[in-house]
Structure 1
């Protein structure tokens, strides 16, 4: 059984690149490739990266893998006045999050979160960005990879 930590996130200022996509037409690899080519030009606060999704408010109530959302590849910054060409700033609002520590490359954890943990919890999805924190233990498509999955929640 999944046991997330429930944390109150403070607002963050992030910067990076965005792209509209769907799960059917997933362009995550191209987005991250473009971001990583210029990442060293970004004055980031630390080495953590944020893979962030902005969904419409009803995205999960009428889920369709062909529906589009905005995907971001980001890093935390303090100053947004001197961003690399093609980069934009993003204000991540604070709020309550269910944080799942995930190891491996299996994306079925999202199915488990939304179909099992969430309905049995005291929470519902809140209309704020969803994101994954990719730290030093993140290894793309590796069974040894570790990341934090942050799902915005509010009490039922």
Structure 2
């Protein structure tokens, strides 16, 4: 699994966030809140959905399954004008990312993540940058249980 390296500019996202840990995974909860209201967003850049994580600076060096991070369910927007009531705004500054194409269900995702952080990253010559990590759920995303589902995994690097 070889990633492509992409440098992106700033992005504006709106959606919902929640603090969680891997032990208290609230991913399904945040998406159940977001998806019914998606149609309220009128200025989306595309139909792509963002599953985004903001980790504390020492998250990966002092990792435990109960370490808290912030999880987002969001969509990229052109601007923050006409943001529907109750939605949160997030601006990410951009940067360089290693982009992996993941195919498979949630169980396979865990194996892909294990490969990225335990195998690819230490051998890559890159270090993690302190930027949001995210997955882009595009046209080929078929749901978290579908073994044919595809998503892009964006890992910030320097």
Which TM-score tier does this pair reach, normalised by the shorter chain?
Answer: over 0.9
Residue number in structure 2 paired with 1:114 = 117
Moved over 3 A (4+): none
- Aligned match of 1:142: 146
- The aligned counterpart of 2:38 is 39
d(CA) in 2 for partners of 1:36, 1:28: 12
How far is 1:85 from its partner?
2.3
Report the equivalent of 2:156: 152
Alignment of 1:47-66 (within 5 A): 47-66=47-66
When normalised by structure 1's length, the TM-score is 0.95
Deviation at 1:10, TM superposition (A): 1.5
Q: Which has the higher strand share?
A: 1
After superposition, where does 1:92-103 map in structure 2 within 5 Å? 92-103=92-103
Deviation at 1:72, TM superposition (A): 0.4
RMSD (CA atoms): 0.8
SS at match of 1:117: helix
Aligned residues: 153
Distance in 2 between the 1:18 and 1:25 partners? Answer: 14
TM-score by length of 2: 0.94
Find the counterpart in structure 2 of residue 19 from structure 1.
18
